[in-house]
Amino acid sequence: MTGSADAHGVRIAYRRAGAGPPLVLLHGGLEDSRLWADDVGRLASEVDAIAWDAPGCGASSAVPDEWTAEDWGQAVVGFLDTLGLERPVVAGFSLGSVLALLAARARPGHIGGLVLIGPYAGWAGSLPAEEVATRVSAMRATAEHPVETWAEGFLDTVYPPDADPARRARARAALDDWRPATTIRLLDALLVDLRPDLPAIDVPTVVVRGARDDRSPRQASLDIVAAMPDARFVEIPDAGHDCAGPDLDRVLTDAATRAARGASGR
């Protein structure tokens, strides 16, 4: 099913299927919940899988001009509250990992667990300054130039050559629908440095990385695990930055099931 919810002053669209422990899926940058559509279908046999369209993405309403990084975190928390989810696991891919951490920083008691996929502790918290500058320039270029001039080059950094062509095609279609204004609004969230906040985010966390990830450095994942009180690292062989598939499904369902057990034992 699809639906929408009001949260932190914006209308957020989402896909939802299944029943059981709640699992909220936050997509990456330059995409929307359609990238989770197959995953939601597979996961629905074991969990209540919910994939949002981030503000300014997909069918959600536009991002207010005055938003800061804190607003992005509050939007996630507000979404969980509006849907009445009790301590769900929040799984974020790439940009979504930053938003998940911002939400956990803002309201840690609302979240039962985190799965951070191809993660960053913000670009400033996981990348050298020169690389941050390069990425900011590249992001601004996506807002200023036609999608056909940069789309395939970007997707080459997300998907290895042997990735599922249907999934890559879905990502390419999402780029055609991307709103350049959202790119500019997202930069404030992407540019945070969350390293000082990680030790206080004391929820069970799984950090997941594809072994062939060309965007999120392996050391960035290891640093996040080392800084958080209850985190472990999982690396998926042969996967790229987008590492969706059976291995990730198992991580997600296990995290949701463990969080539900922990909630029932409180």
pLDDT digits (tens, 9 = 90+) for 11-58: 999 999 999 999 999 999 999 999 999 999 999 999 999 999 999 999
pLDDT tens for residues 225-247? Answer: 999 999 999 999 999 999 999 99
Q: What is the mean pLDDT of residues 129-151?
A: 96
Q: What is the CATH number of the domain that holds 173?
A: 3.40.50.1820
Q: Does the residue 74 lie in any domain?
A: yes
By residue range, what is the domain housing residue 182? 2-260
pLDDT score for 172: 97
Check whether 169 has a pLDDT greater than 90. Answer: yes
Q: Does the residue 266 lie in any domain?
A: no
Q: Does the residue 265 lie in any domain?
A: no
Rounded Cα–Cα distance for residues 237 and 219 (Å): 16
What total number of domains does the chain contain? 1
Q: Does the residue 72 lie in any domain?
A: yes
Q: What is the mean pLDDT of residues 170-175?
A: 97
Q: What is the mean pLDDT of residues 58-63?
A: 97
Q: Are 101 and 76 in contact (CB under 8 A)?
A: no
pLDDT score for 108: 84
Closest CA to 220 of 237, 229, 230, 233: 233
pLDDT score for 262: 75
pTM beyond 0.95: the answer is yes
Q: What is the mean pLDDT of residues 78-88?
A: 96
Check whether 264 has a pLDDT greater than 80. Answer: no
Tell me the H-state helices in the chain: 37-43, 69-82, 95-106, 123-126, 129-144, 151-158, 165-177, 180-190, 218-227, 246-264
Share of the chain above pLDDT 90, in %: 95
3-state secondary structure of 31: coil
